[in-house]
Structure 1
Amino acid sequence: MDRSTFLARLLGPTFFTVGLGMLVNLDGYRNVIAEGLHFGVLFYLSGLLSMIAGLAIINLHNKWQADWRVVITVLGWLMTIGGFFRMVLPKVAIATGSIIYAGRASIVVAALMVGTLGAFLSFKGYMRRA
């Protein structure tokens, strides 16, 4: 199994589950997001874990090809950049997150985007023929 398929199999179900969980438990996720947009140890830890995961993806899979695999590379870079901002510029990260998750509709849109991305990566990882 190549790295792209492995990462798609890892990230796809995870993103799909997060998106589905957000839709099914919308009010709960609103509370989680509200609590998460305050600087503290959990905010910092989420940045640290995001940066580590993003750097792992970048170091294993920095492929800028014009096919589906670039999605994994872009996710790695976004995770790394997001982790950096949460650890180094937390006020900027909190302000940005507060704008993105301003209301119920934005959480639904985010859930649909994350869930669709997860379904796409799951399909590529599990249904792709060699």
Structure 2
Amino acid sequence: MSSPSPFLARLLGPTAILLATTEFKNTEIFPSRDPVTIYLNGSILLVSGLSIVLRHNRWHPSWPVLITLLGWCALGLGFSRMMWPTTWLSLDSAGGSVYATEASLFLAGAVLCWKGYGGGRG
């Protein structure tokens, strides 16, 4: 059986870049969110993260661990958004931590694109 890492890198790399870019561009819409939207987002993140973790739970020190980390982060974030959706309303969606998170997501996506599509395979 071949490794799912290159496929997941090609899937998650562009997704992470697009998520980071569009969330950064649309930060003004986030204060208008409601608990139902946060809960729904959490359920999507939970299922996505669990899917990644079930298929790709690799902890050896090389680039595929980034896929595993993204899966666990999505799983944890999804659970927390489902468990405490009203708490997420009180968080400052335009704060510096949001920009750092978006930058980190963009960088992770760029690394995964490079590994999945470029000469960085292996």
TM-score (structure 2 length as normaliser):
0.83
Aligned length: 120
Taking a change above 3 Å as real, the CA distance of residues 65 and 15 of structure 1, as seen in their structure-2 partners, is same
| 1:31-50 superposed matches below 5 A | 31-36=28-33, 38-40=34-36, 42-50=37-45
CA contact (8 A) 1:85 1:92 kept: no
Could you tell me how far 1:47 is from its partner in structure 2?
0.7
Cα offsets for 1:64-87 (capped at 9, x unmatched) = 111111111111111111111111
What's 1:3 paired with?
A: 4
What's 2:84 paired with?
A: 89
What's 1:77 paired with?
A: 72
What's 2:112 paired with?
A: 121
Q: Distance in 1 between the 2:67 and 2:99 partners?
A: 23
CA contact (8 A) 1:22 1:108 kept: no
Larger proportion of helix: 1
TM-score (structure 1 length as normaliser):
0.79
Q: State the superposition RMSD in angstroms.
A: 2.0
Taking a change above 3 Å as real, the CA distance of residues 60 and 102 of structure 1, as seen in their structure-2 partners, is same
Taking a change above 3 Å as real, the CA distance of residues 88 and 108 of structure 1, as seen in their structure-2 partners, is closer
Cα offsets for 1:6-56 (capped at 9, x unmatched) = 111001011112223345x2xxx22232233x312x211111110000000
Query: Which residues of structure 2 form unaligned runs of 5+?
Result: none
Q: State percent identity of aligned pairs.
A: 34
Taking a change above 3 Å as real, the CA distance of residues 34 and 55 of structure 1, as seen in their structure-2 partners, is same
CA contact (8 A) 1:50 1:79 kept: yes
